[in-house]
Amino acid sequence: MAQYEVDRRLLETFSTDEILRILKQERDDYTEEAIVIFHEILQARGVDVRTPPRRARGASSGSSAALSASPETADFLVRAPSDAVQVLNHLLDGVIKGTIEPQAAQVASSIVMGILHAMEQEFMSEPEEDQ
């Protein structure tokens, strides 16, 4: 088997979107050393990558991208409309930066909108207090 030397400087010239696409779709075309370097580059750029750098080739090749929401919203409760605005802003920011998959953000947004709708229904059905 041929040995390939990985040029880190060349890999660092790839855009974040290109690296994410490579890790998602073309992973098997790169050596494990290159994959590890790609993960280090993403980490240095502030992109949260969930999957470990060293995974078996071909393992879960059809899985979704290795992106996640940041821990700030992982356990965040929507108790007021202003909370929902914070979460939705974070989701939009994550999609724009490429740290959250659009599909994941869409699901999370739907959940937040469902919570807001339930709050609205609760508010509308509350009996008026006699004054």
Residue 71 vs residues 68, 77, 114: alpha-carbon distances, Å: 9, 13, 22
Residue 26, class by beta-carbon neighbours within 10 Å (0-12 exposed, 13-18 middle, 19+ buried)?
Answer: exposed
For tokens 């937040």, name the residue: 112
* Predicted local confidence at residue 35, as pLDDT: 87
Tens-of-pLDDT digits for all 131 residues of the chain?
Answer: 455 677 888 888 988 888 888 888 888 888 888 888 888 888 888 887 764 444 333 333 333 333 344 444 445 667 778 778 888 888 888 888 888 888 888 888 888 888 888 888 888 887 766 55
Q: Judge whether 22 and 14 are in contact, CB under 8 Å.
A: yes
Predicted model pTM? 0.41
* Predicted local confidence at residue 73, as pLDDT: 43
Tokens of 38: 């790609």
Q: Judge whether 38 and 11 are in contact, CB under 8 Å.
A: yes
Cα-based torsion angle of the residue sequence 75, 123, 121, 73 in order, rounded to the nearest 10 degrees: -10
Question: CA angle, 123 as apex, 121 and 125 as ends, to 5°?
Answer: 70
DSSP tag of 29: G
Cα-based torsion angle of the residue sequence 27, 74, 89, 109 in order, rounded to the nearest 10 degrees: 80
* Predicted local confidence at residue 43, as pLDDT: 86
* Predicted local confidence at residue 53, as pLDDT: 43
